[in-house]
Amino acid sequence: MKFLAGRILHSLFLLAGVSLLCFLFAALAPGDYFAELRMDPTVSNQTIAGLRARAGMDRPFLARYGAWAASALRGEFGYSLAYGAPAGPIVGERIGATLLLTGTATLLAWLLAVPWGVWSAARRGAWLDGISRAILALLLAVPDLLLAIVFLALAVETGSFPAGGMVSRDFSSLGAAAKLRDAAWHMALPVAVLVLGMFPVLARHVRASVAEALDSPFVLSARANGIGERRLLFRHALPAALNPLISLFGISVGTLLSASLLVEVVMGWPGLGPLFLEAIMARDFAIVLAVVMLSTVFLIAGNLLADLLLYRADPRIRVRS
């Protein structure tokens, strides 16, 4: 409990510091929501000043930050000038679509990366391992943006996949099985892009961790005692390689809200990505701050989860604590 309390307290201090810095950067950013009105000669400076005062932009920095922090604790995250409503519920409407996309992609990437990495580590130096490493290096060199553009062009040119959206127009009239197929078909290409982006990083880390474990004395001793290769890999080497993989798993959980923003914009997925881009273009900083802070919460929660899993898996951490 002492370990958990310390981690939670550290996370709260970190979240408070990030919130202050994010609000400071937003305040220092050039322009605001009413900046374009200054280009309109029919709108007087007095009118713009009145709008800014009504939105609370003329108040001191600490007063504005305090009001925003209080609204964030209530789940509102400030007031969106573009939507005329609290930013929290607006962002909340899009979180589900983003988590569905990134959660599915992260699960598939791990399910592919673990056996691939273990298999590659067991065949170090073989020509198949060389091909595997070349494929991973090629995937690492290809940006997610390029993959998204290529897959979107494939969908447009072939018509085999939907070119945007989360469901079809007649989704409400479909049966349960047809709704599931339709949603999966719309997710196929965005998920494929995210999996191809995450898979090489995960597979390389799994391979490196398992390869290091295979060279440890206890694994060499187990092999000398005649333990089968499959059992040696999955019952001995893989558990010994868990520590760095648990940390990587925490990071992948922490980036669930931010990993797909660019892919969502390119491929027309109705998640946080398009909303975030629109808010930046409109200088609607309440939406921007809400997305950034929720992403920070997920990242801190992912690291906290990794710390707890490491505490449970590694007795050395419990002894030090």
pLDDT tens digits for range 102-133: 999 999 999 999 989 888 888 887 888 788 88
Q: Which residues of 270-304 are buried (b: 16+ CB within 10 A; e: fewer)?
A: bbbbbbbeebeebbbbbbbbbbbbbbbbbbbbbbb
Contacts of 218 (CB under 8 A, 6+ apart): 236, 240
pLDDT tens for 254-267 read 888 888 888 999 98
Distance of CA 61 to the CA centre of its chain: 30
276: pLDDT strictly greater than 90: yes
* Structure-model confidence comparison of residues 157 and 3, the more confident one: 157
Would you say the C-alpha torsion 125, 126, 130, 132 has a positive or negative sign? negative
Mean pLDDT computed over 18-30: 87
* Structure-model confidence comparison of residues 234 and 152, the more confident one: 152
Mean pLDDT computed over 230-242: 78
10: pLDDT strictly greater than 70: yes
Mean pLDDT computed over 166-187: 82
SS3 of the chain: helix, strand, coil, percent, to 5: 80, 0, 20
Highest mean pLDDT among 39-43, 80-84, 93-97, 160-164: 93-97
Identity of the residue numbered 227: I
User: 314 falls in which pLDDT band (50, 70, 90)?
Assistant: low
Q: Tell me the domain boundaries of the chain.
A: 2-87, 96-284+299-313
Q: Residue with structure tokens 């809200």?
A: 257
321: pLDDT strictly greater than 60: no
pLDDT of the residue at 317 = 65
Spatial separation of the C-alpha atoms in residues 161 and 93, rounded to whole Å: 25
Question: Of the candidates 33, 62, 61, 63, which has an alpha carbon nearest to the alpha carbon of residue 48?
Answer: 33
- Structure tokens that stand for 266 in this block: 């390119």
191: pLDDT strictly greater than 90: yes
pLDDT of the residue at 319 = 62
* Structure-model confidence comparison of residues 64 and 223, the more confident one: 64
Q: What angle do CA 105, 106, 110 make, to 5 degrees?
A: 115
Q: Looking at the DSSP assignment, which residues form a beta bridge with residue 85?
A: 80
pLDDT of the residue at 242 = 81
Would you say the C-alpha torsion 5, 66, 256, 184 has a positive or negative sign? positive
Mean pLDDT computed over 165-191: 83
Are 3 and 311 spatial neighbours (Cβ–Cβ below 8 Å)? Answer: yes
15: pLDDT strictly greater than 70: yes
Would you say the C-alpha torsion 199, 205, 210, 211 has a positive or negative sign? positive
| Minimum mean pLDDT range among 55-69, 167-181, 247-261, 273-287 | 167-181
Mean pLDDT computed over 228-255: 81
Are 285 and 83 spatial neighbours (Cβ–Cβ below 8 Å)? Answer: no
pLDDT tens for 55-98 read 788 888 899 999 999 999 898 998 888 888 999 999 999 999 99
pLDDT of the residue at 214 = 80
User: 96-284+299-313 adopts what CATH topology?
Assistant: MetI-like fold (1.10.3720)
* Structure-model confidence comparison of residues 285 and 236, the more confident one: 285
Mean pLDDT computed over 286-303: 90
What is the bridge-based pairing of β-strands 85-86 and 79-80? antiparallel
pLDDT of the residue at 316 = 67
pLDDT of the residue at 254 = 85
Q: What is the DSSP string of 292-308?
A: HHHHHHHHHHHHHHHHH
pTM of the model: 0.86
